[in-house]
């Protein structure tokens, strides 16, 4: 990882996307391929063992591979050549069985699938963790009143628990989506030069099935060299997930503003410090997530655009994916890990939430007050409350005081009755029931039952 | 529709996205809302009928709505005001029941859901049709040999049926995805000002359930005012679909090039003509699909970016969706309809496909020849064939003739044996079995069983 | 415009992008073409007059054009056919001079250039207005202290005038960019079928020059049918502008939050109201700008992607532009007009800005205090102030009080000296000079000198 | 660089974007800052020398920086801390002058500017080289006839030289744009915590000017911490350039198709080979350019979206740029270098171009023939030629033969006259003049005069 790596990425994911990991995955495919052909009787077992025995990235010359890949147009061509040479040194007869029947793209695509499959394991566990943390937080604050805000203005009272329940509900949907995308992307690519496995002759379909079995991947109906929808679907699913993570991060950052001060990110030595301002505690976790979210939609669009791949195997769309897909997963992994740690250590200031309900001097209760007065004043209530809001703002008074001073209102409701209308606890509506509904659905979530498996 | 509408769009979809359709859907939500409250005993049945009776877009002043929406920030505010005034003229007492307990976003979001649900019906039928047409084409050409092309170069022989089977296989996956997205997006939005249904008091959850029932929508665990993943998922699913449609369109355009001439788009008077060149027959269908595919990834990225919506109801991300989502569906609808019609009338020139297999003067058979010679020449075969390819290119001769003249080769294989290696029918590998495998999967497709339903 | 038009768009721009405006621009090109050929002696003057006389959109059948365009693949083919027929009815011999030497794309591209050129006139005037309004505001508030905020946290004191000067400085850069893009995009497209003007014979270059002259457009060195950089540059320039507009809008929305309340958007009846909350004054102007900014980067990416146009005239990339470019300009026009009006009527609450400087209980002065103490405490100052910040936060005390109570500090500075450190007016640094520097550059701005021309 | 680096990137550019280059640029800024303050008399010269003396990346612990940056939220915080510690070890009194008056973003932004400025030097030279190569090619093939192709169909004859002149003309425009963007982006960032340089007191503006001078950067009117248009403009300019590079690459790939075979990419051992097909020569250069073009528009959209940066210094938009901008320049550099080398070694097969003019059996001459016949047949010519084209296609005959057999035509033109109409050299229109016009403009290009300077 680069010096910015620890900031933006997560080691558990990155380890699947290093150069070594990429090449090892390709060698794993080559090893599986020769074993599958041995199972089909096409390759003598000792030769298969000789090939598989060389399929460790350790002895390969990565610099030479890079230079040769620049000429050949992909890294499989020189990797296969190096592998063949290494095998030949040990067992000249076995070299001919290297990469037999496959094309570069079979190896590169299947290796990418293996890398993605691996990277999604920690990601899905972390997303489960995030959901668990959110469930705890929602339960804890199901009765914590807070100003609900719309159009970035205080609107009406609600609870912090309901806000968090909304976050949780979305995260739980993403857990399902990611599970489905994980399953769908775990599919073998194997078609040979133009996708008809012509180089393998009769036993082609048997070899394909054995290869899928060796690698624990699904066997597709047909090779998908220029049909990238499964890969692209993983990217779009990540785009959807990250949209939600960034929504949560933006909410946290808004709650954490100095004048609002309802939430703060966890404190640790060196965390969120400034190079010049000694008081600073920057919401670093939110910033990392928002930065990722600023980047991933563009990557998703590129992946979708690159789907327009020509004929049997494409020209520019395919190489475009080689860095795009790992990058997409990597930024997501980093953001997810950051957000999970941030939410887990989030400091909630319920007193500040309560205090901010007073910031509008009663205006945040206007809708509730209007509803309450409608029973007594009928359709006139709306106009009365609108006028009172206007006056409260103009004269910088509390809405309650303006209403008490209004003869029409005071004729209909006693001052203490009016005062009670400004108690947030009386205007939370179905907030508690909705939190309950989300928590119940969360408890029933498939991933809750299964222990990490699909 | 604009003057470009018939070119880029499809009436069956557009009818769901006109101004009138948008407003009518909003009025349908208002009518359902008051009926739901009547079912819950909150509104007298005659008042509910009075409100519902005004919920037809016909009498509304659209210009005034547009101007007032520009001030208010959304079209629901003035629509509700107009509706209330219209109801009041008929039944003064009923006006107070208009829009009760709802917020603008409840109406706008649910109306959008209704529009999307409607537009997806013809789209899914058309996608079924496209699949059916492709299945027919794949079956028909399962034994039509063709040059497989990789990196936009002839690579090795394959069949046109296998190419089409690849198209079909992807389309069938999209049918599943679109079915799932259709189901997931068909969900009620109903939360009131800040998502806790506070204005409705105790019976809020009952009203919500009744409202979902009235509209035939699913009732979510919690309102989703700032959680847009279901809507965004529809956009990403369309992005995935369109990637495949455009891949097919690009393939058609490549096959249709003058020098290739293997496919041509259907001929009709005025279709694909030029303003200046009398001979022109432009592949208009492919162009429309590719133009849509150039635009939709950007729209998807915008939808994903707009997911970062603040707090209880958002500032800029939400209004961004109002045109983005209809536009995405609309461009997809137009492209899908065009492609389906184009593929249905596609002219396949199997003779040209066969002829083009000769364009490379035997080089397209190089891999097959090398495999065949490997049995006789062993590992030397690769070098021999590579050298022969090089010489064939240099001297502009047929690869077969170069090989015949090569003593090493002629020692190992008789000229007629060599000549037979250049028969494409002998190098189609598993093409037929793979087509069969796709067709079998297609026949088992869920949508094939169900008659248009989920 | 649709019912959402008045919200998102601006009539002064939209009038250039209606169907009628598009077709009239195309007819203007046809008229200029025949006049140019008359000037070159290729067409008899009366015939040219007969053709030009029919080049008014009024008599054309737009529905028929739309249907025929769907078949032909572009609207020029049927438009030319209708025009030819109309001319023939008046003057049979003149009909042959219609569209002579041109191709559809010449007419469609040049017409688009004319539309863009027209739409940029009100846009540039409005951008000048925005700059003027910002200059006034920056001057007015050059000494209005305010909490500077970084990472969405209060950081150190600054002035509102400096914030606005930053907005202005960027807007002035965009005025230059837009002027350059306006000039560069105002270029003739004229190349005939494949860009070599072959159909016109010898006088081709003369006709091209005359045509450019007729339309007041620059004559390019060579036709640019598949080189779209000038058009794309207009889109990217708009993307840059909108980034700044949206930055301003987001700042306004953040300042306008209930708990911050430093700015509010202009008040007008019906503006920013809610369908349910009587007190609401939503920042509608900011929302419209932010919504546009959520959409335009995706459009810009699509325009850039569509630049990959094939050969002499392209397949899908070109039609993709027909709606993309007008849409980009249209969303920008709407956002610009909104923001200009919003900023012109912005209410600035300097007292609230001052009050919010107290929100952090002195922490916003920490850097300034540390600098002041450095002279007396040396390098120790940093640690002392950091510790005091920590304690102030922990014990919820004012930083000043904590420092006064610190023996090391009180030994070095008297309480009233310390108290003076918390006066924002003493920590504004070069704010005033920087505002001056921006205003001076603004006064020198080329567009300030020229009255609307380049 | 990763193992894919040599394929997608260019060392001359990459060297500016390594971790070490990034940190060294930051240290260069710190050194210049302390020197500027020494010039302003704020720092004793020996102390300045002591600080500057430590500003070499060699002794820094990059792993520790990465880990600390992950906590702090940016790499400047720990870098400054390490620098301060290193200075203190040598000269305790000098440590206090490290990073004085600056904020993290001043250092990070200015360092990025330095990196970008450096990377643009080889890029601009390479773009000059590309233009020179294209000019040579255009001149060489100004009279090489070729089928002009529109909508991916043969349309009418033109010259390869004119196609190349179109490429050149666009590249020359990009040279101007890149020169302007290079100049505009080379600007100092220096504002302190909130952009008003408050920590430096009176001499702030003097220090800023001296710092700009030290680094050879322009001094802006005001710091631009949250105004990113200059950086974003570099990204959009690159997006525009790459659009043209990819258009050229796509054209090359289309010309290089087996059935067209008019161009081929340079041949070199190992270049464009396949892992399985011995005859393959894949157009690797074009593929690399097209892959970059599939990725950059999404990056540009992300950069534009990230412009919406909050208040005095932003939360997520700023960190998003740290990898986005280098990535954009890097992909462009790789693509540009590849394309320049590819075009420089391009093999043009003029005979194949000529041969392909016969592929349509005369139809490519239809427009020319119609024009020629118009003088003799009048308005009837269009119908006659259209009918002949239709028949030629139906009956698979040469258009010439169909016309000769048509009594109306043969009455008007003798067979040998008709035959001459099918000579491409007679239908090249203004192709040569247009090539000349582009070459003349190229010769006048500013960058042609100046030797590498602006």
pLDDT per position as a tens digit, A88-97: 999 999 999 9
Q: Report the gap between the CA of D125 and the closest CA in chain A (Å).
A: 22
Chain A residue nearest residue D106, CA to CA:
A275
Contacting residues for B392 by C-beta, under 8 A, at least 6 apart? B361, B362, B363, B398, B399, B401, B402
Q: Report the gap between the CA of D390 and the closest CA in chain B (Å).
A: 7
Contact B155, B149 (CB under 8 A): yes
Q: What is the pLDDT of residue B448?
A: 53
C451: left (phi over 0), alpha (psi -120 to 50) or beta: beta
With an 8 Å Cβ cutoff, is A149 touching chain C?
yes
Q: On the CB side of C278, how many CA atoms lie within 13 Å of its CA?
A: 26
Chain-centroid distance, C-alpha C350: 29
CB contact residues (below 8 A), chain C span 150-179, against chain D: 150-152, 155-159, 162-163, 165-167, 169-170, 173-174, 177
Q: What is the pLDDT of residue B1?
A: 79
Tell me the per-residue pLDDT of A103-116, one tens digit each, with 9 for 90 and over: 999 999 999 999 99
- Residue B139 pLDDT > 70: yes
Which of A222, A256, A370 to mutate to probe the B interface, most B CBs <10 Å?
A222
Of C152, C154, C279, the CB nearest to A363: C279
Contact A267, D71 (CB under 8 A): no
Residues of A in contact with C358 (CB under 8 A): none
Which of C246, C258, C265, C317 to mutate to probe the A interface, most A CBs <10 Å?
C258
With an 8 Å Cβ cutoff, is A287 touching chain C?
yes
Global confidence as pTM: 0.97
Q: Do D258 and B364 touch (CB under 8 A)?
A: yes
Q: Is D226 helix (H, G, I), strand (E, B) or coil?
A: coil
Three-point CA angle D202, D204, D206, nearest 5°: 105
Terminal Cα distance for chain C, rounded: 31
Residues of A in contact with C279 (CB under 8 A): 360, 363-364, 366-367, 389, 393, 399
Chain A residue nearest residue D21, CA to CA:
A3
Q: What φ, ψ does residue A43 adopt, rounded to 5°?
A: -135, 135
Q: What is the pLDDT of residue D448?
A: 53
CB contact residues (below 8 A), chain C span 52-81, against chain D: 73
Beta bridge partners of C225: none
Contacting residues for D207 by C-beta, under 8 A, at least 6 apart? D36, D37, D40, D42, D101, D190, D197, D200
C-alpha D3/C-alpha A65 separation (Å) is: 7
C-alpha A208/C-alpha A196 separation (Å) is: 11
Q: What φ, ψ does residue D201 adopt, rounded to 5°?
A: 65, -155
C-alpha B241/C-alpha B293 separation (Å) is: 10
Residues of A in contact with B312 (CB under 8 A): 148-150, 155, 158, 163
- Residue C391 pLDDT > 60: yes
Residues of C in contact with B194 (CB under 8 A): none
With an 8 Å Cβ cutoff, is B264 touching chain D?
no
Q: Report the gap between the CA of A253 and the closest CA in chain C (Å).
A: 7
* Candidates B313, B376, B382, B397; catalytic one: B313
Beta bridge partners of B154: B149
Q: Kindly report the number of other CB atoms within 10 A of residue B352's CB atom.
A: 17
Q: What is the pLDDT of residue B353?
A: 98
With an 8 Å Cβ cutoff, is B272 touching chain C?
yes
If you write DSSP's letter for every residue of C190-234 in order, what string do you get?
Answer: ---TTSS-GGG-TTHHHHHHHHHHHHT-BPPSS--TT--HHHHHH
Of D286, D288, D319, the CB nearest to A291: D319
Of B76, B276, B317, the CB nearest to C192: B276
Q: Do C154 and A258 touch (CB under 8 A)?
A: yes
Terminal Cα distance for chain A, rounded: 31
C-alpha B138/C-alpha B170 separation (Å) is: 13
Mean pLDDT over each residue of chain C, to the nearest integer:
95
Q: Do A310 and B441 touch (CB under 8 A)?
A: no
Q: Do D69 and A4 touch (CB under 8 A)?
A: yes
* Candidates B20, B89, B274, B444; catalytic one: B274
pLDDT (mean) for A383-404: 93
Contact C293, C376 (CB under 8 A): no
Nearest one of B386, B287, B268 to C310, comparing CA atoms: B287
Q: Report the gap between the CA of C439 and the closest CA in chain A (Å).
A: 29
> Of B204-213, B272-281, B314-323, D282-291, which gets the smallest average pLDDT?
B272-281
pLDDT (mean) for A423-427: 94
Which tokens belong to D357? 């003019």
The size of the A-C interface in CB pairs under 8 A is 121
- Active-site positions of D read 274, 313
Q: Do B159 and A196 touch (CB under 8 A)?
A: yes
Q: What φ, ψ does residue B264 adopt, rounded to 5°?
A: -140, 145
Q: Do D22 and A3 touch (CB under 8 A)?
A: yes
Burial class (CB in 10 A: 0-12, 13-18, 19+), A359: middle
**Model ipTM value:** 0.96
Chain C residue nearest residue D240, CA to CA:
C229
Of D73, D96, D431, the CB nearest to C196: D431
Q: What is the pLDDT of residue C453?
A: 37
- Active-site positions of A read 274, 313
Q: Do B73 and C272 touch (CB under 8 A)?
A: yes
C-alpha A291/C-alpha D70 separation (Å) is: 13
Terminal Cα distance for chain D, rounded: 31
Beta bridge partners of C150: C153, D313
Q: Do D364 and B279 touch (CB under 8 A)?
A: yes
Q: What is the mean pLDDT of each run of 10 residues along chain D (454 residues)?
A: 95 98 98 98 97 97 96 96 97 95 97 98 98 98 98 97 98 97 98 96 95 98 98 98 98 98 93 85 96 98 98 96 98 98 98 96 93 86 91 94 93 90 95 98 77 38
Nearest one of A363, A354, A356, A349 to A155, comparing CA atoms: A363
Q: Report the gap between the CA of D246 and the closest CA in chain A (Å).
A: 10
With an 8 Å Cβ cutoff, is C249 touching chain B?
yes
* DSSP-assigned letter for residue B26: H
Three-state SS string across chain A, please? CCCCHHHHCCHHHHCCCCHHHHHHHHHHHHHHHHHHHHHCCCCCHHHHHHHHHCCCHHHCCHHHHHHHHHHHCCCHHHHHHHHHHHHHHHCHHHHHHCCCCCCHHHHHHHHHHHHHHHHHHHHHHHHHHHHHHHHHHHHHCCCCEEEEEECCEEEEEEEHHHHHHHHHHHHHHHHHHHHHHHHHHCECCCCCCCCCCHHHCCCHHHHHHHHHHHHCCECCCCCCCCCCHHHHHHHHHHHHHHHHHHHHHHHHHHHCCCCCCCEECCCCCCCCCCCCCCCCCCCHHHHHHHHHHHHHHHHHHHHHHCCCCCCCECCCHHHHHHHHHHHHHHHHHHHHHHHHHHHHCCEECHHHHHHHCCCCCCHHHHHHHHHHHHHHHCCHHHHHHHHHHHHHHHHCCCHHHHHHCCHHHHHHCCHHHHHHCCCHHHHCCCHHHHHHHHHHHHHCCHHHHCCCCC
With an 8 Å Cβ cutoff, is D427 touching chain C?
yes
Residues of A in contact with B371 (CB under 8 A): 199
Tell me the per-residue pLDDT of A253-279, one tens digit each, with 9 for 90 and over: 999 999 999 999 998 888 888 887 888
Burial class (CB in 10 A: 0-12, 13-18, 19+), A414: exposed
Q: Report the gap between the CA of A25 and the closest CA in chain B (Å).
A: 24
Contact C5, B71 (CB under 8 A): no
Tell me the per-residue pLDDT of B328-357, one tens digit each, with 9 for 90 and over: 999 999 999 999 999 999 999 999 999 999
Q: Is C41 helix (H, G, I), strand (E, B) or coil?
A: coil
- Residue A19 pLDDT > 70: yes
- The set of chains that have 3 or more CB pairs under 8 A with D is A, B, C
Q: Residue C454 — very low, low, confident or very high, per pLDDT cuts 50/70/90?
A: very low
Q: What φ, ψ does residue D269 adopt, rounded to 5°?
A: -60, 130
Q: Do D366 and B278 touch (CB under 8 A)?
A: yes
If you write DSSP's letter for every residue of B177-209 in order, what string do you get?
Answer: HHHHHHHHH-B-----TTSS-GGG-TTHHHHHH
- Residue C356 pLDDT > 50: yes
Of C147, C254, C277, the CB nearest to A366: C277
Which tokens belong to C67? 């249907």
Q: How many residues does chain B have?
A: 454
Chain-centroid distance, C-alpha A4: 20
Q: What is the pLDDT of residue A452?
A: 38
Terminal Cα distance for chain B, rounded: 31
Farthest CA pair distance, chain C: 104
Q: Report the gap between the CA of B105 and the closest CA in chain A (Å).
A: 11
Q: What is the pLDDT of residue A275?
A: 81
Nearest one of B291, B294, B272 to B281, comparing CA atoms: B272
Residues of A in contact with C385 (CB under 8 A): 278
Nearest one of A426, A413, A406 to A365, comparing CA atoms: A426
Q: What is the pLDDT of residue C448?
A: 53
Mean pLDDT over each residue of chain A, to the nearest integer:
95
Q: What φ, ψ does residue C31 adopt, rounded to 5°?
A: -65, -45
With an 8 Å Cβ cutoff, is C275 touching chain A?
no
Of D268, D298, D323, the CB nearest to A4: D323
With an 8 Å Cβ cutoff, is D271 touching chain A?
yes
Chain D residue nearest residue B262, CA to CA:
D259
C-alpha A17/C-alpha A329 separation (Å) is: 9
Q: Report the gap between the CA of C303 and the closest CA in chain D (Å).
A: 9
C-alpha B274/C-alpha D382 separation (Å) is: 12
Q: Report the gap between the CA of C276 and the closest CA in chain D (Å).
A: 30
Tell me the per-residue pLDDT of B398-418, one tens digit each, with 9 for 90 and over: 999 999 999 999 998 899 999
- The set of chains that have 3 or more CB pairs under 8 A with B is A, C, D
Tell me the per-residue pLDDT of B15-73, one tens digit each, with 9 for 90 and over: 999 999 999 999 999 999 999 999 999 999 999 999 999 999 999 999 999 999 999 99
Chain-centroid distance, C-alpha A393: 43
Based on its alpha-carbon atoms, the radius of gyration of chain D, rounded to whole angstroms, reads: 30
Chain A residue nearest residue C276, CA to CA:
A367
Three-point CA angle C310, C314, C318, nearest 5°: 125
Which tokens belong to A122? 């920690």
Which tokens belong to A271? 């965390």
């Amino acid at each position: 990882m680069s010096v910015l790596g620890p900031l933006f990425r997560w080691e558990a994911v990155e380890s699947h996307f290093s150069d070594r990991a990429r090449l090892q995955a390709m060698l794993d495919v080559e090893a599986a391929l020769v074993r599958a052909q041995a199972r089909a009787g096409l390759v003598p077992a000792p030769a298969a063992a000789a090939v598989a025995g060389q399929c460790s990235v350790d002895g390969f010359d990565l610099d030479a591979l890079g230079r040769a890949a620049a000429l050949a147009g992909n890294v499989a061509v020189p990797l296969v050549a190096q592998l063949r040479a290494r095998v030949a040194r040990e067992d000249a007869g076995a070299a001919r069985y290297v990469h037999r029947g496959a094309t570069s793209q079979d190896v590169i695509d299947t290796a990418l699938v293996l890398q993605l499959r691996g990277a999604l394991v920690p990601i899905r566990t972390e997303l489960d963790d995030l959901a668990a943390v959110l469930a705890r937080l929602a339960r804890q604050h199901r009765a914590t009143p807070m100003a609900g805000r719309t159009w970035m203005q205080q609107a009406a009272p609600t609870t912090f628990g309901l806000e968090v329940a909304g976050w949780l509900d979305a995260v739980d949907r993403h857990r399902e989506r990611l599970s489905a995308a994980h399953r769908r992307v775990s599919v073998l690519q194997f078609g040979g030069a133009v996708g008809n496995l012509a180089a393998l002759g009769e036993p082609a379909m048997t070899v394909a099935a054995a290869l899928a079995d060796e690698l624990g991947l699904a066997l597709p109906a047909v090779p998908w060299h220029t049909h990238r929808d499964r890969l692209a679907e993983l990217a779009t699913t990540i785009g959807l997930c990250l949209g939600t993570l960034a929504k949560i991060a933006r909410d946290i950052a808004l709650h954490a503003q100095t004048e609002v001060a309802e939430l703060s990110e966890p404190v640790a030595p060196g965390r969120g410090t400034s190079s010049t301002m000694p008081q600073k505690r920057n919401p670093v976790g939110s910033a990392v997530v928002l930065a990722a979210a600023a980047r991933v939609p563009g990557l998703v669009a590129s992946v979708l655009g690159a789907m327009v791949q020509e004929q049997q195997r494409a020209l520019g769309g395919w190489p475009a994916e080689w860095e795009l897909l790992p990058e997409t997963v990597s930024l997501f992994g980093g953001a997810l890990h950051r957000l999970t740690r941030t939410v887990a250590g989030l400091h909630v200031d319920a007193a500040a939430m309560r205090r901010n309900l007073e910031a509008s001097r009663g205006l945040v209760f206007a809708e509730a007050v209007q509803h309450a007065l409608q029973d007594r004043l009928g359709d006139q209530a709306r106009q009365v409350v609108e006028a009172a809001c206007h006056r409260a703002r103009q004269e910088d008074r509390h809405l309650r005081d303006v209403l008490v001073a209004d003869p029409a209102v005071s004729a209909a409701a006693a001052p203490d009755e009016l005062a009670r209308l400004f108690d947030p606890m009386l205007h939370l509506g179905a907030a508690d029931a909705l939190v309950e509904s989300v928590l119940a659905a969360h408890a029933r979530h498939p991933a809750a039952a299964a222990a990490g498996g699909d």
